Structure 1
Amino acid sequence: MRTAHVIRTPDQQLRIFVSSTLQELAAERRATRAAIERLHLAPVMFELGASPHPPRELYRAYLDQSDVFLGVYWERYGWVAPDESVSGLEDEYNLCPPDLPRLLYVKSPANREPKLTELLGRIRDDDRAAYKYFETAKELGRLVEADLATLLAERFDQSRVLLTADVLSDADRVVEPVRLPVALTDLIGRDRDIAAIGGMLASGTRLVTLTGPGGIGKSRLAIAAARAAESQFADGAVFVDLSAVHNPDRVAHTIAQALGVRDTGDAPVLENLDTALGDRRILLLLDNFEQVLDAAPVLTALLAAAPGVAAIVTSRSLLRVSAEQSYEVGPLADDSSLNLFVERAKAAKPDFELTAANSDTIARVCTAVDGAPLAIELAAARIRVLSPADLLDRLDRGLAVLVGGGRDLPERQQTIRRTIEWSTQLLDAGQRRLLARLGVFEGGFTLEAAEFVGATAAPGDADAGGDVLTDLTALVDNSLVGPHDSGERPGFSMQAIVREYAREQLAASGESDRIRDAHARFFLELGDRVESQLKGERQREWMRRLGDERDNLRAAERFLLSSRDWDRAARLAFSLYLYWWVAGLLGEVRTWMDEALDSRDELSDHTRAIALYFTRTIMFWKDPDGSVAADLTESADLFHRVGDPDGEGLTRISLALALLAGGKPDTERAREVMDTSLSLFRGSGSLWGESMALVLLGRVALLQRKVPEARDHFEQSLAITRRTDDIVGQRIASYHLGWALLLLGQVDEARADFALSVTLSASLGHAEGVAYGIEGMVAVAALAGDAVRAGRLAGAARALRERSGTHNGPMFTFHQRYLDRLAEDGKGEQLEEAITAGRALTVEQAVAEALAGAEHEDPPGDYR
């Protein structure tokens, strides 16, 4: 059930669903998008919505996730698909949730089609909609911007009380556990299976493996069973998608990623996982384990180290490890098969009905495909153009002559794969070619990415790839490609067995390497395009979007590495540096760049500079013999040689950190290094780099006990990051400024800056930043002599660091000395009890407690 819409502040990326015909309003759509983005809102412009075969469930899902409906109309009513009564344009308006604000714009003059005139008459009579006329695209842009701004202003007061709640909602995602996916359709015929699996978990079984062929419904069943059993686990259920993992060595990293444990590269991931899971009650769902069976001992080792953890695994084969209990997923029962067919047939053809005349035929269709859910869906999708009798006849003849799937596969899996092949034989050549090319993606993919890869031309081929949008729509209509929620823009995915089939066809076509290269080029160009935007006002948006593309970014990088294309591999890594860092993936990037350095190939100066930077920067605080500083110096020199001042400036920041680490910080040389870094960034005009260099100069000043100078540097940095809407930079600057102000005795001001650091870090999902900010609040509470508050926050910060795998805090925080002083003043026992209690706080509770508004008197003593 939908909750009432509350329009919040523009920086919270509200979604504006835009409905219109495509070609005749192309200029107007561009003007609308620009107006929406000027208000920092997110346009949801789902191009498939008005295409010949509208995927209703997909745009219904996006309407449900939107905050405002915006319609633009002129002359065309839109195409009506066979057996449909309305166009996609009218269907979008009909499906608009009743509580969604509606802004409608009609272009005049016009020679409208009668059905559009009828629709507009109904809309005018709808008192829920604001209805305006316009003449030009420019005028439309002004109207949209003004009306959305007014709507936001009118509802802002309603949402003011929710601002704190929004921060806390962000905080709950800081450790970024991947929760169970929400399906767009109901699960049919699996109630007994769900109960049986739940019973196994309730009886103490800690490893349940669901086996069966691809397409039998293991993943959907596992998700439903995990959701039903989730209440047995205090820390909930976490989804670990292994479909994009092909190397067993990457399984531990994937589990860590799903749990929100960062791969910072400074400690083994398994060690971090053991720490993160040690005291938790959590259910892991590991999907598609069959391709990484050699990693089964990793899973059993984790379960042995964490007695409160249980796992549901889906796999076509047993893991064959101790404590494993198997559950074979079989075909649907006859009545459930029939119900599934009818549901999917209605989605394809809304007026389809099960009748006495066709029920036996449909039952035979379900039998022909062995009651396998995927095969039933593929067959039902054809009901749009085939009668049940025609469908059965074509299916019988098609399966009889097809031999795809491999004779060594289980019989039911052969049937599923033959059904996939039968479905593709009914497509035209362009649609089959696009399906094969889409197999190159890992996980989901956007419409933009699909169009780029699908339109890649073969050598000497003037026709790049036909009409990709139309072909993609056909694949959606035929259930070979499905909708995938990727946030503000339409996304798609394929079931694992369909992706396997697509990749086989791509390999057989002989264009696998060329399409993989096109895939890599798309993400290289994306990295180039967003590099600067990651440092400005669209930072949060791009952090989230790149998170959605994480598996595809990895696949692109792996292709470049396997091709020994070191220059482009380094370019992709370096353009997204800020994302890798905030997402906690620098450890993985380090392994990529180690491959380049270990290859014995001659690397270009720029590539070697990047590789040295990534492999050494995460080790700056472990440099007993000075080798890290020496390699970072070489990296900086190489950046200088090739004329990359920003790369040189960034490397000098890491070099300065290495010089400040250890028992005897070299502050004088660090200051020299940072003066050069600051000059480089100012010379190149990089405000982001300038703000970072100022923070490091402030850190040098703190170590030299020049606190007022440090404060000035931090304030300059904060001013720059506010001017550029750089949230990461604001978080860093405000945190450091808090410490300078605290050392100067300005406790209230320090508290405000630490609170800002916590809030901004939560909004980014940056666990390490939240921990830093809370640790600053620990010092504030300790200065006031509040052992309970200081201890609870310290315990929460420690638990957060353990659960997120961020352990190098002592280099950047100073709160322990304040806790020690409390203990020396006789509050040690009270403090330890509070620390234990604080460890039990969730991230959301810890952030709420850190931001609690209790004001403190000046400290009773000098704890500085």
Structure 2
Amino acid sequence: MDDAHGATFGDLLRRHRRDAGLSQEGLAERAGLSVDAIAALERGRRRAPRAHTLRLLFDALGLDPLDRAQLTSVAHRQGEGQRPALRPMPVPAGELVGRTADLAQASRLLGEGGTRLLTLTGPGGIGKTRLALATAAAVAARFEEGVCWIPLASLTNVVAAIGAALGLPPLEGERAIEEAAEHLSRRNLLLVLDNCEHLLTEVALAGATLLECCPNVSILATSRELLRIPGETVHVVPPLALPRQDWPEERLADSPAVQLFLERAAARGQPGLDRFSQVARVVRRLEGMPLAIELAAARTNVLTVDELASELEDSFAILTGGSSTALPRQQSLRAAIAWSHDLLTPPERELFATGAAFSGGWTLAALAAVATGQTEPGPMPRAEILDLTSRLVDKSLVRVNRDGGTARYDMLAVIREFAMSQLEQSGRYDEVARRHAAFHVALVEQAEAHLRGPNQGDWLNRLDLDLDNLRVAITWALRTGATAEAMRLAGGLWLFCYLRGYYAEGAEWLEQALKLAEQAGDEKDLTPSKAKALVGAGMLAFLQCEYDVATERLETALALYRDLADEAGTALVLQRLGGVARERGDYEQAEVLHRQSLTLAESLGDRSAEAWAQNHLGFVAWLRGDLAVGAEWCRQARETFRSLGDGEGLAWSLISLGAIAQYGGDLAGAETLLRESLALSQRLGYREGVAWSLNQLGIVERRRGRTERAVHLLDESLAEHQDLGDRWRSASVLEELATVARQRGRPSYAAFLLGAAGGLREVIRAPVPLVEQADLAATRAAVEAELDPGDLATARAAGRAVPLHSVADGYPASTDPPDQ
């Protein structure tokens, strides 16, 4: 068959279809094409099918080689010069790293479920363009005419850019976008609009028109802000996955963030970097942001990874020196963020800068209070702050976390540093910092009333969420000499610091606040705050076994409370002084102080204070071996704590009752009580309760002969006590571990542990509790009998010489005899 009479491709296709006895629907079904595509080809609306479409048609019609060649020739002749080439996608410089899930998700969205507009969004430098390139390549085969790449970063006219990318004559005038739509109305392709954020209105109008008028056109957009047009599906591009904190060194390179750093460093002539722990430190600091990682990797030509990690702890200013062919905003991290900042309205800029005052995130209420200077802003200011926050979230400058009952917002660290520079340049920093501190003073004082009682866990968690903000507020108060704020913050947080295990940090805050108060002189208004701060300082010093400091702070607080005629404060201090006496082994003095505390609590009708005094009296009793007396006191306390909903108090009464059962030989009863206390303490995040419960459960397992399980529990307990800084309890756990070591046939290691415990006790000047002395004496005697004097002395001396954190490395199962 020839085309000498000027037959078009459409004429020839129609003739072959009819010869094959097929309708348009039949051919479309057999070829895997749309009916509209067959009709368009036959009628000449589409004159030059792609090679892939030709092959599908030839196979469906069963054409012989001669007919295939003829149709191919006509198609090529008709296609010559009829349509200009689409702007092709740029070729990526490197492999796509760490985006397997994002690529699969974006490809699925564009290929299924009717998604015709997919916007890849996220902050500058997150890798939107690179993911768009990979996505477009992955889905190109789904579009008969392929992909048209339309870069908008340096342009101002969206329609002209679309026309130029399609190879059309210049499109101008009011109907320009309609003309582009007419040209695309019968075409099947994917438009990729890259970097839309500075032309949002124009892109939205053009995109809406094209989607409405061009049923076979889909759009893939990258933008720091959503387009907000009907049919838009959004994929937020996340940072690259970071290595987990518990991964071993050899696994760190599995992290996509680490892989990107290593790849880019190798490209800079620094292959073979093997300090994976330091690379992990770098990428964690950069929170997995690809541009930041690439810019950091570029610095490996002049810095070691260790130096780079240290530099980044102080500032992100070194993140410059991107590709010389990249746009200016991609050559430094600051420029990338500044591009987004320049697109903000003045109110958005002001709130963005205000957000820099927060560290670790904030709630809408917190931001509204700091932005307005009102602790409880009214509905209208809150609504305005919500609207502005929503815009900053949409512009990828602020992140939102909806996991809890209350939404929290934050910024990537690199963005927060830029926002802080804007806040400082605005001259508003001092005022915003003062408001930030005032809000958190109010939060602390609101929380303080709930840190014992049925809502204890909720308020502990609330303060934990804002711990970084509390640190910022206290640092500001101490640095600026804001004595009242420093005292209220540090004094109001000591119980939180105790329960959550921040002993050293809380003590440092309190000591610095007290120094400020001393410098402020004898101000009567500060006396109640000073007394509270002294109690907290004394308690946290006591918990770290600084008994002399604790006694001095508590006795000063006692004098202040007595001057104030504050009986509740007096009862609390007496209770704490009783604790110091108890750990120093002065059980008689401890009992006297706790009874005085109980008498005051009873006179005040304070059931919580009564229960605590009873619990401490029980604690003193069982430590000195009076198990029955201890049980009576602790049972009374337990019932009150249960009725009051005091989780901390209940955990302590259970620990005491469990210890009493354990020393009394009721191991099953002890385990029940101690497992309840462990579960409760873990639920509350009450670290001292966890450490004590593990300690006593370890003794239960040792008494049962289950020494492997005992080692596990005791090692966990020792790690907790050591981390808390509680040397008194660490010594007792070491002595119990020594007993287990002797039972497992390791007398030298037992002597080593006894030496370590003895060294601790000498430093803190605290004796072995009476209830523990019998077991310890038996262990010492057995070890001394099994070792010659020289070996015994050597092992003990080695234990005394080793720092506490290096003492317990666990027991290798392969070297120990099996449990009996």
1:490 to 373, 385, 407: 407
Unaligned runs of 5+ in 1: 1-53, 59-81, 86-175, 181-186, 226-283, 294-313, 318-327, 335-366, 373-411, 846-855
SS of equivalent residue, structure 1 residue 520: helix
For the Cα contact (< 8 Å) 2:547–2:580, is it kept in 1? no
- In the alignment, the residues of structure 2 paired with residue 196 and residue 291 of structure 1 have an alpha-carbon distance, to the nearest angstrom, of 18
1:753 to 648, 665, 673: 673
- In the alignment, the residues of structure 2 paired with residue 525 and residue 210 of structure 1 have an alpha-carbon distance, to the nearest angstrom, of 35
Deviation digits for residues 309-336 of structure 1 (CA, Å, limit 9, x no counterpart): xxxxx9544xxxxxxxxxx8875899xx
Amino acid of the residue matched to residue 751 of structure 1? Answer: E
Amino acid of the residue matched to residue 531 of structure 2? Answer: A
- In the alignment, the residues of structure 1 paired with residue 654 and residue 683 of structure 2 have an alpha-carbon distance, to the nearest angstrom, of 15
Which residue is equivalent to 1:220?
289
Amino acid of the residue matched to residue 390 of structure 2? Answer: T
Q: RMSD value over aligned CA atoms?
A: 4.9
- In the alignment, the residues of structure 2 paired with residue 630 and residue 652 of structure 1 have an alpha-carbon distance, to the nearest angstrom, of 13
For the Cα contact (< 8 Å) 1:731–1:761, is it kept in 2? yes
For the Cα contact (< 8 Å) 2:541–2:549, is it kept in 1? no
- In the alignment, the residues of structure 1 paired with residue 706 and residue 259 of structure 2 have an alpha-carbon distance, to the nearest angstrom, of 53
Task: Provide the identity percentage.
Answer: 22
For the Cα contact (< 8 Å) 1:715–1:733, is it kept in 2? yes
1:207 to 275, 278, 282: 278
Deviation digits for residues 555-577 of structure 1 (CA, Å, limit 9, x no counterpart): 11122223323233222223333
1:608 to 516, 519, 530: 530
Which residue is equivalent to 2:573?
651
1:453 to 370, 379, 391: 370
Which residue is equivalent to 2:564?
642
Residues 1:721 and 2:641 are matched in the alignment: yes
TM, length-normalised to structure 1: 0.50
Amino acid of the residue matched to residue 700 of structure 2? Answer: V
After TM superposition, give the deviation of residue 490 of structure 1 in Å. 1.0
After TM superposition, give the deviation of residue 434 of structure 1 in Å. 1.9
Which residue is equivalent to 1:423?
343
- In the alignment, the residues of structure 2 paired with residue 499 and residue 677 of structure 1 have an alpha-carbon distance, to the nearest angstrom, of 49
- In the alignment, the residues of structure 2 paired with residue 765 and residue 197 of structure 1 have an alpha-carbon distance, to the nearest angstrom, of 41
Deviation digits for residues 815-857 of structure 1 (CA, Å, limit 9, x no counterpart): 6676666677785569979x99995599xx9xxxxxxxxxx9x
SS of equivalent residue, structure 1 residue 483: strand
After TM superposition, give the deviation of residue 194 of structure 1 in Å. 5.4
After TM superposition, give the deviation of residue 177 of structure 1 in Å. 6.5
For the Cα contact (< 8 Å) 2:457–2:684, is it kept in 1? yes
Moved more, 676-685 or 616-625: 616-625
After TM superposition, give the deviation of residue 708 of structure 1 in Å. 1.4
The structure where helix makes up a greater share of residues is: 2
* Residues paired across the two proteins, number: 504
Change (3 A) 1:540 1:499: same
> 1:558-597 maps to which residues of 2 (within 5 A)?
558-597=475-514
SS of equivalent residue, structure 1 residue 534: coil
Change (3 A) 1:647 1:744: same
Which residue is equivalent to 2:664?
744
For the Cα contact (< 8 Å) 1:790–1:831, is it kept in 2? no
- In the alignment, the residues of structure 2 paired with residue 622 and residue 519 of structure 1 have an alpha-carbon distance, to the nearest angstrom, of 31
Which residue is equivalent to 2:786?
none
> 1:147-162 maps to which residues of 2 (within 5 A)?
none
Deviation digits for residues 407-431 of structure 1 (CA, Å, limit 9, x no counterpart): xxxxx3563354144123xx1x433
Change (3 A) 1:475 1:646: farther
Change (3 A) 1:563 1:474: same
Larger Rg, first or second structure (1 or 2) = 2
Which residue is equivalent to 2:542?
620
Which residue is equivalent to 1:781?
701
Deviation digits for residues 35-86 of structure 1 (CA, Å, limit 9, x no counterpart): xxxxxxxxxxxxxxxxxxx99999xxxxxxxxxxxxxxxxxxxxxxx8899x
SS of equivalent residue, structure 2 residue 509: helix
Change (3 A) 1:222 1:763: farther
SS of equivalent residue, structure 1 residue 533: coil
After TM superposition, give the deviation of residue 631 of structure 1 in Å. 3.3
For the Cα contact (< 8 Å) 1:442–1:555, is it kept in 2? yes
SS of equivalent residue, structure 1 residue 492: strand
For the Cα contact (< 8 Å) 2:498–2:540, is it kept in 1? no
Residues 1:678 and 2:595 are matched in the alignment: no
Change (3 A) 1:177 1:689: farther
For the Cα contact (< 8 Å) 2:278–2:309, is it kept in 1? no
> 1:469-488 maps to which residues of 2 (within 5 A)?
469-484=386-401, 487-488=404-405
After TM superposition, give the deviation of residue 712 of structure 1 in Å. 1.4
After TM superposition, give the deviation of residue 776 of structure 1 in Å. 0.8
Change (3 A) 1:676 1:481: same
Deviation digits for residues 501-544 of structure 1 (CA, Å, limit 9, x no counterpart): 43344344444333222211211221222223222233223222
> 1:303-452 maps to which residues of 2 (within 5 A)?
315-317=316-318, 331=322, 368-371=327-330, 412-413=332-333, 415-416=335-336, 418-424=338-344, 427=345, 429-452=346-369
> 1:832-851 maps to which residues of 2 (within 5 A)?
none
Which residue is equivalent to 2:465?
548
For the Cα contact (< 8 Å) 2:687–2:720, is it kept in 1? yes
Amino acid of the residue matched to residue 549 of structure 1? Answer: D
Amino acid of the residue matched to residue 553 of structure 2? Answer: D
- In the alignment, the residues of structure 1 paired with residue 339 and residue 651 of structure 2 have an alpha-carbon distance, to the nearest angstrom, of 53
After TM superposition, give the deviation of residue 447 of structure 1 in Å. 1.5
1:694 to 611, 614, 626: 614
- In the alignment, the residues of structure 2 paired with residue 717 and residue 658 of structure 1 have an alpha-carbon distance, to the nearest angstrom, of 20
1:513 to 422, 430, 433: 430
After TM superposition, give the deviation of residue 814 of structure 1 in Å. 5.7
For the Cα contact (< 8 Å) 1:211–1:316, is it kept in 2? no
After TM superposition, give the deviation of residue 476 of structure 1 in Å. 1.5
- In the alignment, the residues of structure 1 paired with residue 329 and residue 566 of structure 2 have an alpha-carbon distance, to the nearest angstrom, of 61
After TM superposition, give the deviation of residue 789 of structure 1 in Å. 3.5
For the Cα contact (< 8 Å) 1:728–1:761, is it kept in 2? yes
After TM superposition, give the deviation of residue 766 of structure 1 in Å. 3.9
Change (3 A) 1:437 1:684: farther
Change (3 A) 1:368 1:522: same
- In the alignment, the residues of structure 2 paired with residue 682 and residue 577 of structure 1 have an alpha-carbon distance, to the nearest angstrom, of 25
More contact order relative to length (CA 8 Å, sep ≥ 6):
1
Change (3 A) 1:568 1:559: same
Deviation digits for residues 93-151 of structure 1 (CA, Å, limit 9, x no counterpart): xxxxxxxxxxxxxxxxxxxxxxxxxxxxxxxxxxxxxxxxxxxxxxxxxxxxxxxxxxx
- In the alignment, the residues of structure 2 paired with residue 179 and residue 369 of structure 1 have an alpha-carbon distance, to the nearest angstrom, of 37
Residues 1:808 and 2:722 are matched in the alignment: no
For the Cα contact (< 8 Å) 2:355–2:367, is it kept in 1? yes
Which residue is equivalent to 1:26?
none
For the Cα contact (< 8 Å) 1:785–1:822, is it kept in 2? no
Unaligned runs of 5+ in 2: 1-118, 124-203, 209-243, 249-254, 295-304, 754-805, 814-818
Moved more, 469-478 or 203-212: 203-212
Change (3 A) 1:761 1:56: farther
Change (3 A) 1:718 1:547: same
After TM superposition, give the deviation of residue 652 of structure 1 in Å. 2.3
TM, length-normalised to structure 2: 0.52
